[in-house]
Amino acid sequence: MSLDIVVCIKQVPDPQHFSKITLDPVKQTIRREGIPAIMNPLDRHAVEEALRLREKYAGKVTAITMGPPQAAEILQDACAMGVNDVILLSDRVFAGADSLATVYPLAAAIQKIGKFDLVICGNESVDGATQQVGPQLAELLGIPHVTYVNKIENFADGSMTVKRVIEQGYLKIHLQLPALITVVKEINEYRLPTVMAIMEATCKEITVWSNNDIHADGEKIGLDGSPTNVFGVFEQKSTRKRNMLKGTPEEVAKQAVQWLRKLEAM
Amino acid sequence: MDFGLSREQEMLRNMVRDFAEKEIRPRTAEFAQPEGEFPFDICKKMADLGLIGLPFPKEYGGSGMGHVAYLIAIEELAKVYPGWGSHLRGFGLVPAVLEMHGTEEQKKTLLPRMIKGEILSCISGTEASGGSDVAGISTTAKREGDYYIINGRKCMITRSTITDVFLVSARTGENPRDISSILVDRNTPGFQAGRLENFISTSRTNFAGEVTLTNCKVPVSNLVGKEHRGLGAMLTGINEVGRTGGAAMLVGLAQAVLEIAVKYAKERHLYGKPLTNIQTLLFMLGDMERNVARARWLTYYAGWLLDQGKTYQEIPGEIAMCKLDASEAAINVCLKGIEILGGYGTTPEFGIISKFKSALDMIAAAGSNNISRLVMSNATVKKYS
């Protein structure tokens, strides 16, 4: 058996620098200047799982991302980890897309790639955190999907069995291929690229597709194709207020409960 | 002029940072324990990732990414645990000598295995009379047919009890500078690793000690470079890897201390406002950044010159300057960090004091700071003569 796997990855601001992010009160946007961009952490686990499947069953792994030209950097990271091919979807008409307007170009690109057995995404991104791209993409591709996957149990006869994390345990789900899964970090420990792999990755050619290459419906992409819009952003400020309670332990406990109820915290 | 890192250098930095966070940070308490087995697994992982081979050519098992890349890797490791930055530097000392002065046979048989971490090596030059005074070396290597018979005692030899191959400096002639560099396998009869030194940062991960050589019989083919000219060979490693790598290690630990101090100063309130609002302490943070930045650029510059093909004989001042400056910068940054953290500055939990100890130990490493100052000053006079 040989598997053709597509991994969808995203460039995001490095969470370690989130404290440096500020808001532009006029433009109502997030200022990302000076914040290093990295591959979404869960997407690294998605790439790793694809590589492990390829090592076990043979086949090919293609990583794809949509973004500005600098998003090519995370494709180099994916190359250094060991993927076979990388595709950058980059076109000004894609700009400003919400999750639905993101999956149209992604779906069109995956269909252009041709045959695939499995699509793997990170469960969510650290910036948007909508968890929508994976399921929406599966619906557009017309394939079954499972989110919150923490283990792939096996592949056999054109189907696979995965474990999906739920609050009190997990579900074991059987699904037909081709399929899409979104993974959580517990699924694996991702590999670090070697020095030689890094050097080879920076020399590897990155395929860049614009909308002219994938022919996504112009009305469904970019800002105009996005059914959701961000009307404003605001900073949530939290302040600490000290309130000394006096009395016996029983009295203090009662007062504390009253305060918490008043604050609607209980 | 371009002060930016190349994309592959950036990717390398990210990879080493990830490695240090995943593999080293969770085990720093274990590494700092005074006794126990040396963590060989970390060496193997560093070698498997290709870190030891960064400055060495592909034909001998390296990647040829260069010296600046090597210094970046050392710096990133040292930010999390200075000892591992120091080890990465140490693993490259003998390979650097072999690459420049070794025979083709030595390069082919030893370099790939050293780069893979299969053979640990170190330079063994220092004796009780001192490391800087080469004329004071009393270890002898007498030629008997196709062999050298080596007798002597070396001290302060890094990783002495676990190293496989020692590059020993020994007197081979009557002239005071008739010093040769000879490879000695630890299994050679008459070779013994003895008492360990009690350095301020000694731990199961960082240690150095004495080795004695009693009628050690090694083949002449173990000679590295020309007979009687071994000092120059050894100085290749000490300068091009030892000093620049030491500087990178010091830059890394100083950066870590700076970050600890800034975080603390922003969170700690005094008189109702954060420490960063108190100019005296604010100026300290600015000065710490200035020290780290200056040391880092001097270090990268020395590495860049090596990447341009310069040898230590051509840039002795630049190499000495980066080590001296990084040493003074790191000590300065640690002391300021301790002042900013107040009482917490010297508690192990905040992580400054362990880095300060490593910075103190580096004063004498790869040529003391005074030797670096001497080399730098002589180079300065020569430059303007």
pLDDT tens digits for range A212-260: 999 999 999 999 999 998 878 877 777 777 788 999 999 999 999 999 8
Evaluated on CA atoms B110, B111, B112, B114, the torsion sign reads positive
Strands A22-24 and A29-31 turn out to be antiparallel
Q: Can you say whether residue B271 is alpha, beta or left, with left for phi > 0 and alpha for psi between -120 and 50 degrees?
A: left
Closest Cα in chain A, distance from residue B289 (Å): 18
Q: Are the C-beta atoms of residues A44 and A65 closer than 8 Å to each other?
A: no
Q: Which of A76, A192, A199 is opposite residue B63, by nearest beta carbon? A: A199
The pLDDT tens digits of the residues spanning A42-85 come to 999 999 999 999 999 999 999 999 999 999 999 999 999 999 99
CB distance A195–B48 less than 8 Å? Answer: no
Q: Residue B198 pLDDT more than 90?
A: no
Q: Which amino acid is present at B148? A: Y
Report the CATH superfamily, name and number, of domain B7-115: Acyl-CoA dehydrogenase/oxidase, N-terminal domain (1.10.540.10)
The pLDDT tens digits of the residues spanning A11-40 come to 999 988 888 888 887 777 778 788 899 999
Q: Which of B14, B22, B50 is opposite residue A195, by nearest beta carbon? A: B50
Q: Residue A188 pLDDT more than 80?
A: yes
- Within 10 Å of residue A22's Cβ, how many Cβ atoms? 13
Q: Which residues of A touch B50 (CB under 8 A)?
A: 194-196
Q: Which of A76, A195, A201 is opposite residue B51, by nearest beta carbon? A: A195
Strands A179-183 and A145-156 turn out to be parallel
Q: Residue B227 pLDDT more than 80?
A: yes
* Residue A60 confidence (pLDDT): 97
CB distance A193–B53 less than 8 Å? Answer: no
CB distance A77–B11 less than 8 Å? Answer: yes
Q: Which residues of A touch B53 (CB under 8 A)?
A: 195
Q: Which residues of B touch A201 (CB under 8 A)?
A: 11
Q: Which residues of B touch A80 (CB under 8 A)?
A: 11, 15
CA–CA separation, B125 vs A75, rounded Å?
Answer: 47
Give the pLDDT band (50/70/90) at residue B1: confident
CB distance B50–A80 less than 8 Å? Answer: no
Q: Residue B130 pLDDT more than 80?
A: no
Which of B271, B361, B285, B373 shows the shortest CA–CA distance to B322? Answer: B373
The CATH code that applies to domain A3-220 is: 3.40.50.620
Q: Residue B103 pLDDT more than 80?
A: yes
Closest Cα in chain B, distance from residue A17 (Å): 13
Spans of all domains in chain A: 3-220
Closest Cα in chain B, distance from residue A93 (Å): 27
CB distance A198–B53 less than 8 Å? Answer: no
Q: Which amino acid is present at B115? A: I
The CATH code that applies to domain B231-383 is: 1.20.140.10
* Residue A229 confidence (pLDDT): 84
The pLDDT tens digits of the residues spanning B142-187 come to 999 999 999 999 999 999 999 999 999 999 999 988 999 999 999 9
Which of B125, B126, B133, B127 shows the shortest CA–CA distance to B181? Answer: B125
Higher pLDDT, B2 or A27: B2
CB distance A38–B14 less than 8 Å? Answer: yes
CA–CA separation, A17 vs A36, rounded Å?
Answer: 8
Above 0.90 for ipTM, yes or no? yes
Closest Cα in chain B, distance from residue A200 (Å): 9
Q: Tokens 């009687």 appear where?
A: B228
Angle CA B361–B366–B369, to nearest 5: 70
Which residue is closest to B49 within chain A, CA to CA?
A194
Residues 6+ positions from A92 with CB-CB distance below 8 Å: none
Which residue is closest to B15 within chain A, CA to CA?
A192
Backbone angles phi, psi at B246, to 5 degrees: -60, -40
Q: Cis peptide leading into A227, omega within 30 of 0?
A: no
Q: Which of A73, A192, A202 is opposite residue B15, by nearest beta carbon? A: A192
Residues on chain A bordering chain B, Cβ-to-Cβ distance under 8 angstroms: 38, 73, 76-77, 80, 192-196, 198-199, 201-202
Q: Which amino acid is present at B121? A: S
CB distance B19–A199 less than 8 Å? Answer: no
The pLDDT tens digits of the residues spanning A94-141 come to 998 999 999 999 999 999 999 999 999 999 999 888 999 999 999 999
* Residue B219 confidence (pLDDT): 98
* Residue A233 confidence (pLDDT): 80
Q: Which residues of B touch A73 (CB under 8 A)?
A: 7
CB distance A77–B65 less than 8 Å? Answer: no
What pTM, to 2 d.p., does this model score?
Answer: 0.92
- Residue A30 tokens read as 């997030």
Could you tell me how many CB contacts below 8 A there are between chain A and chain B?
Answer: 43
Distance of CA B292 to the CA centre of its chain: 18
CA–CA separation, B328 vs A260, rounded Å?
Answer: 54
- The C-alpha torsion from A200 through A202 and A204 to A209, rounded to 10°, is 160
3-state secondary structure of A42: helix
Please tell us whether the domain made up of B121-226 is placed in CATH 2.40.110.10. yes
Spans of all domains in chain B: 7-115, 121-226, 231-383
For an interface test with B, which of A17, A195, A242 has the most B Cβ atoms less than 10 Å from its Cβ? Answer: A195
CB distance A199–B14 less than 8 Å? Answer: no
- Residue A240 tokens read as 């600490």
Helix (H) / strand (E) containing B327: helix B316-341
Q: Which residues of B touch A194 (CB under 8 A)?
A: 48-50
- Residue B140 tokens read as 């002898």
Q: Which residues of A touch B69 (CB under 8 A)?
A: 195
